[in-house]
């Protein structure tokens, strides 16, 4: 088994629970409040991680900047995710937003000059077809 696979499977499980918990939260509270409480959960995980690093995170300015941009993009995405989940069916919202790797692949191709294989192009096409069929 490759070293990254257990972590990826745990991430898959966590994101699956995240999608379910989102809909359960907005049954009882509004989407913006749910986002705030989700953020509290993220901060708790961040504090635990900081404790594991003995409060000595890496401080390279470029890494720090991209880390902050990651958080901003995540927060903005979560805001719109919660709004969409509040207004739509969670099955459709989760499926559509789970296709975010398409954006990463396209940006990586143009900005990072990463190669995209024919097999991956077929996958991109099928993901785009999934958007059509799920909407």
pLDDT in tens, 8-48: 889 989 998 999 999 999 999 999 999 999 999 999 999 99
Q: What is the pLDDT of residue 54?
A: 84
pLDDT over 70, % of the chain: 99
pLDDT score, position 59: 85
- Structural contact between residues 109 and 116, judged by C-beta atoms closer than 8 angstroms: yes
* pLDDT for the residue 66: 93
Mean pLDDT of 107-117: 94
Domain boundaries, the chain: 5-88, 99-135
Q: Where are the alpha helices (DSSP H) in the chain?
A: 5-28, 31-52, 61-87, 90-97, 101-111, 118-134
CA distances, 53 to each of 42, 50, 60, 117 (Å): 17, 5, 15, 38
44-56 pLDDT tens trace: 999 999 888 887 7
Mean pLDDT of the chain: 91
Radius of gyration (Cα) for the chain, nearest Å? 17
Task: State the pTM of this model.
Answer: 0.79
- The rounded percent of the chain whose pLDDT value lies above 90 is 61
Nearest to 70 by CA among 59, 80, 62, 58: 62
Question: What confidence score (pLDDT) does residue 1 get?
Answer: 64
Confidence at 117, pLDDT banded by 50, 70, 90:
very high
């Amino acid at each position: 088994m490759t070293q990254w696979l257990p972590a990826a499977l745990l991430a898959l499980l966590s994101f699956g629970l995240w999608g379910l918990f989102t809909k359960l939260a907005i049954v009882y509270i509004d989407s913006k409040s749910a986002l705030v409480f989700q953020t509290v959960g993220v901060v708790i995980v961040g504090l635990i991680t900081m404790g594991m690093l003995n409060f000595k995170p890496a401080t390279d300015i470029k890494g720090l900047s991209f880390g902050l941009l990651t958080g901003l993009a995540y927060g903005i995405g979560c805001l719109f995710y919660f709004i969409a989940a509040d207004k739509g069916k969670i099955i459709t919202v989760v499926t559509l937003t789970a296709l975010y790797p398409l954006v990463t692949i396209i940006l990586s191709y143009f900005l990072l000059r990463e190669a995209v294989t024919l097999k991956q192009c077929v996958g991109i096409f099928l993901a785009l077809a999934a958007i059509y069929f799920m909407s």
